Amino acid sequence: MRGKVLIAAYPCSGTKFMAELLKTYGISAMHEKSNEEVTVSWRHVGEPDKPGISKMEFDNVLHQVRHPLKALASLGFGIDDRSVQLFKHNCSGLGEPGLEFYMRVYLRWDELIRELNPVLRYQLERVEYVWPEICKYVGLPVDTIYVDRGVPRNSHNSSNLILIWEDLEEVSPQMSEQLFGLARKYGYE
């Protein structure tokens, strides 16, 4: 199965890692840029009206997830002003960047990706278990052997911030519960 593929994710959820991984297998995968084969991006989720970034442009969407606590811990350290403006455009009531801001973004991005009707959802941390499925969608033979290159660490999180559920609970019990529900739904808790 081939066609244009979008691997969509929440920001700081390993999109660059996945694009680089696919390139090692000879797949023309672009990180945060449209491509005729595979686009690995979080930006394409939040800019559907921008020329060249229409959700209709992709034949298949894969949803790459990362544990919410890890993604949230990375996000505050790797986002530029342009990204913050993109978040504000897509999420109402954000306020200024901080944990509550990024919790709202995570929930909204998940909603936007679900609206794209992904054909596959997988955990970044367990990519080897769905590798044959990913291969099918990106045009590799399904028997392509996965070579473990390690799971990306919090590359944006230079302070090595570690969040726990209680940190989120202090900010917003309701959003903390929603995020915990997503973590459970995606097989993390």
pLDDT averages per 10-residue partition of the chain, 189 residues: 84 89 93 86 70 65 94 74 68 74 87 90 94 95 87 54 93 96 93
Domains annotated on the chain, with CATH: 5-185 (3.40.50)
- Count of CB atoms within 10 A of residue 63's CB? 22
pLDDT of residue 36: 78
pLDDT of residue 112: 86
Looking up tokens 């959003």 gives 175
In terms of residues, how long is the chain? Answer: 189
pLDDT of residue 123: 95
pLDDT of residue 12: 81
Amino acid of residue 115: E
Q: Would you call 121 helix, strand, or coil by DSSP? A: strand
Do 127 and 52 contact (CB within 8 A), yes or no? no
pLDDT of residue 161: 80
Q: What pTM, to 2 d.p., does this model score?
A: 0.86
| Helix (H), strand (E) at residue 29 | strand 29-31
Name the nearest CA neighbour of 33 among 12, 4, 62, 13.
4
Number of alpha carbons in the 13 Å side-chain half-sphere of residue 109: 32
Contacts with 26 (C-beta within 8 Å, 6 or more apart), sequence order:
none
pLDDT of residue 147: 87
DSSP 45-71: HH-TTSTT--GGG-SEEEEEE--HHHH
- Count of CB atoms within 10 A of residue 54's CB? 13
Q: Which two tokens stand for residue 169?
A: 């609970």
